[in-house]
Amino acid sequence: MNARSKTLSLMAMKEKAKVAETLARLRELLAQQAEATRMAERLAAMLAEKREAAGGVQTMASLRSERVLAGQLLAEIDRQRARVEQLSALVAETQAQLARDEHRLQMLADKAREARRGEAEERQALRDAAMPPRRR
């Protein structure tokens, strides 16, 4: 390997590591997004269950405590949904970064392959030039 192909190969390996890092970050963000979505759904189900179970005669204190609990549940649902939106934006940004990194990796790999091919042709030309002409 010549210096050019070696340099391009090393740059491609560095880019491959960067792609792997971006993929790991993307998986982590997707897991966080799924967890936040599940949490919001569970809280909404709890709130719906509380509303259904609130039938019958109740004391004023129990009504107040249920109102406070419902307010807290609604606030937490809103917070989880906002978190899902933030994570969705981060996922989109990370996917765009991954696409850019993969494109750069492919470009560097192609250039390194082309440089190796050119170097092999140069070596073959030198070998052919070093061989004495055939006698007839």
pLDDT at 131: 85
Name the nearest CA neighbour of 66 among 74, 39, 76. Answer: 74
Distance between CA atoms of residues 84 and 2, nearest Å: 49
**Choice between 65 and 104, residue whose per-residue pLDDT is larger:** 104
Q: What are phi and psi of 18, to 5 degrees?
A: -65, -40
pTM attached to this predicted model: 0.72
**Distant-in-sequence, close-in-space partners of 2: CB < 8 Å, separation ≥ 6:** 115, 119
**Is 64 a member of any domain?**
yes
Q: What's 94's domain CATH number?
A: 1.10.287
Range of the domain at 60: 3-129
Average pLDDT over residues 97-110: 94
**Is 55 a member of any domain?**
yes
For residue range 11-68, what is the model confidence (pLDDT) as tens digits?
Answer: 999 999 999 999 999 999 999 999 999 999 999 998 888 877 766 667 788 778 888 8
Say yes or no to pLDDT of 92 above 90: yes
**Is 136 a member of any domain?**
no
Cβ distance 106 to 8 under 8 Å? no
Distance between CA atoms of residues 108 and 75, nearest Å: 49
**Is 107 a member of any domain?**
yes
